[in-house]
Amino acid sequence: MKDETKLVVAGRDPESNFGIVNVPVYHASTVLYSSLDDLQQRHKERAEGKQVVTYGRMGTPTTWSLEEAVAEIEGGYRCQVFPSGLAACAQAIQAFVKTGDHILVTDSVYGPTRYFCDNVLSRFGVETTYYDPLIGGGISELIRDNTSVVFVESPGSQTFEMQDIPAISDQAHKRGAVVLMDNTWASPLYYKPFEHGVDVSIQAGTKYIVGHSDVMMGTVTTNKEHWETLQTAANLNGQTAGPDDVYLAQRGMRTLSVRLKQHMENGIKVAEWLKGRSEVHSVLHPALKDHPGHDLWKRDFLGASGLFSFRLNALSRDALAAFMDDLELFGMGYSWGGYESLIIYADPSNYRTATKWDNTNPLIRLHIGLEDTDDLIADLTAGFDRLKAAQ
C-alpha cells in the first residue's frame, strides 16, 4: 500500500471493536483476570512480546493503534508512545547508555535534548560530545571504544543543516554504536529513517502527528534488534501516555498526508518570497535549490514540512521588535506542526559548542500553517514596513 493509504488504515481494527471505525479510548489502570491461569498466561504472552492487556501502563488497544500506525508508516518494527517529544528523546537515549559510556550528538540538536544530556546524563557518568552536523563519514574520527550512541537530527530544527545520515550510520555501525534520530521535521511520511541506517527513530508527535497544537505526545520506533531494549527501559521508567492524548494523536495521523502537503507547498512559497526581500540576508530551507544541503534533502527525503528559518540583515532590537510584535497571523510561540503559523527569534550562538554561530544576522524561525499564503505574505510585508520605519 501507498503511505496515504497506510495512514488511513494502519492500526485500525473495527472487527474487534464492534465495527467502530476508530479504536475507542480505553481508560484503564487495573485489569481484572478471570483466573490464575488467565493471569499467568497473559503475563507469559507479554513476556514473549505479544500485545496483551495486563495493566493500563503496559498498553491498551488505544495505544497499540497509534503505535502500530507510526511503526508501519515509518518502516520500523514496533513503536512506543511517550507523554511528550522530550520524554521520547530522553528515554530513547537513556535506554542505550550506561555509566562510563560516551555519546555523540549533533551540534544542531533540539535544545531540550542537549539540556538533558548536559544536566541529566552527565550526573550518571555519561559523557556527551557535540559534533559538526556536516561531518558525514568523518564522524569516524570522533567515535571511541565506549561510544554507545550517535544521535542525529536532520535538518537541525533551528539552523537547518542537512546531515548525511547513511554515511554517519555506516561509520557508527562499524564501531558498534546505535544510531538514534530525531525525525520530527519530516514526520514519518517524508523521511524513512530505517532505509538510511537509523536504528531508533524519535518523533515529537506533538507536532505534525497531532497537528492541532493541543496535545503533548512522543513516539519512539525501533528496528527489531533494538525493540526489547527500548521497551524494557521505557516500562521500567514508568513511561506511558494518557489514552485521550493517544486517541487525538491517532486521529491526527489520519489526515497527516493532506496537511503535510499543504504545509510543504505553503512553506516553499513563503520561503521563495522571502528570498526576494531586501531585508533578508538568507533563507534556510532545505527544499530550496540554493540551500547548502539541498542535494542531501533531494536524495534522501520525500518532501518538506512547513518549518524553516531565515536571517535578517543586521538591525537594532527595536527594529526586530517592530517586525515581530504586531504580526496578526503569525503567533509568537514555541512548538510547531499545528494548523497555525508561528514565528520565534532564535540565537544558536548561546549554546553551540562544536561549531560557531555568528548571530550578527538575526535568526528567525517560521512555521507556515494552513492559512492562505497571500494573507501570510501580506502580514510579513506589513512587518517589514514597520521594521524599516523603526531603523
Catalytic residue positions, numbered: 57, 110, 182, 207
Query: What separation in angstroms does the CA of 289 have from each of 60, 145, 303, 334, 368?
Result: 46, 39, 14, 27, 19
The separation between the first and the last C-alpha atoms of the chain, rounded to the nearest angstrom, is 55
Please name the residue that has the C-alpha cell 507510526.
Answer: 70
The answer for residues whose C-beta is within 8 angstroms of residue 225's C-beta and 6 or more apart is: 199
Exposed e or buried b for every residue in 8-44, given b needs 16+ CB within 10 A? eebbbeeeeeeeeeebebbebeeeeeeeeeeeeebee
- 98 within 8 A of 148, measured Cβ to Cβ: yes
All cell numbers assigned to 104: 555523540
Phi, psi of 141 (to 5 degrees): -70, -15
With vertex at residue 293, the alpha carbon angle to CA 287 and CA 295, rounded to the nearest 5 degrees, is 75
CA-based nearest residue to 85, from 153, 8, 179, 155: 153
With vertex at residue 93, the alpha carbon angle to CA 143 and CA 203, rounded to the nearest 5 degrees, is 115
Strands (E), 143-227: 147-153, 178-182, 200-203, 218-222
